[in-house]
């Protein structure tokens, strides 16, 4: 998809949001998230989808997306979380099996298989190297409207062959190559 097509898709989401067509807006932002590579675009899309969920009365989904936006650098959502939901939230690092130790503090453990639960509730299951996704694995969004990534991982990032599909119905959104955490095209 070209930059112009991505921009149009984002604007379609914004128009649906402003028209208070929250289901359509959430679907558009979910599709947009599956197609963008730039970290700033990704954090903005999570924030916008969070606002859609907030305005549509989906509190838990709104909070999860806004926290993800903050974790990706969109600190404006820290203020919204505090003002609207009374939540003081700062960027988080992932933890192993729901524990509190950040990945960077875990001792090297070599190869293993395991499960990582992210602070936002997303779950990784698969191969690990030194406590980070490395090899084959699956990242599942906790949101029912979220996505599933299945494929290759290197040093905690999507890297190699992979597929992104909708969690609800399994519809394939992207199948192809990933480099350093982002789609390669």
Which CATH architecture is the domain 3-85 placed in? Alpha Horseshoe (1.25)
Q: Taking 60 as the threshold, does the pLDDT of residue 94 lie above it?
A: no
User: Residues of the chain with pLDDT > 90: what percent?
Assistant: 16
User: Does pTM top 0.75 for this prediction?
Assistant: no
Dump the DSSP string for 124-182: EEEEEETTEEEEEEEEE-SSTT-EEEEEEEETTEEEEEEEEEETTT--EEEEEEEETTE
Look up tokens 């990582």; give the residue. 116
Which CATH architecture is the domain 95-183 placed in? Single Sheet (2.20)
List the chain domain ranges. 3-85, 95-183
Distance CA 85, CA 108 (A): 38
What pLDDT does 103 receive? 41
pLDDT digits over 24-66, tens only? 998 888 888 888 877 778 888 888 988 998 998 888 888 888 8
pLDDT digits over 59-89, tens only? 888 888 888 888 877 778 888 888 888 988 8
């Amino acid at each position: 998809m070209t930059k112009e097509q991505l921009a149009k898709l984002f604007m379609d989401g914004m128009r649906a949001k402003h028209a208070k067509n929250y289901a359509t807006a959430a679907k558009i932002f979910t599709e947009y998230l599956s197609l963008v590579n730039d970290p700033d675009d990704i954090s903005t899309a999570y924030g916008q989808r969070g606002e859609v969920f907030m305005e549509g009365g989906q509190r838990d989904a709104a909070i999860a997306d806004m926290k993800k936006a903050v974790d990706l650098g969109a600190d404006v959502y820290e203020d919204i979380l505090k003002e609207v939901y009374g939540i003081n939230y700062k960027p988080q690092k992932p933890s192993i099996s729901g524990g509190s130790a950040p990945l960077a503090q875990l001792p090297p453990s070599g190869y293993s298989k395991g499960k990582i639960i992210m602070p936002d509730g997303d779950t990784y299951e698969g191969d690990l190297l030194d406590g980070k996704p490395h090899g084959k694995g699956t990242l599942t969004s906790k949101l029912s409207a979220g996505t599933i990534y299945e494929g290759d991982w290197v040093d905690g990032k999507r890297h190699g062959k992979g597929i992104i599909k909708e969690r609800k119905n399994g519809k394939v959104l992207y199948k192809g190559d990933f480099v350093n955490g982002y789609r390669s095209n």
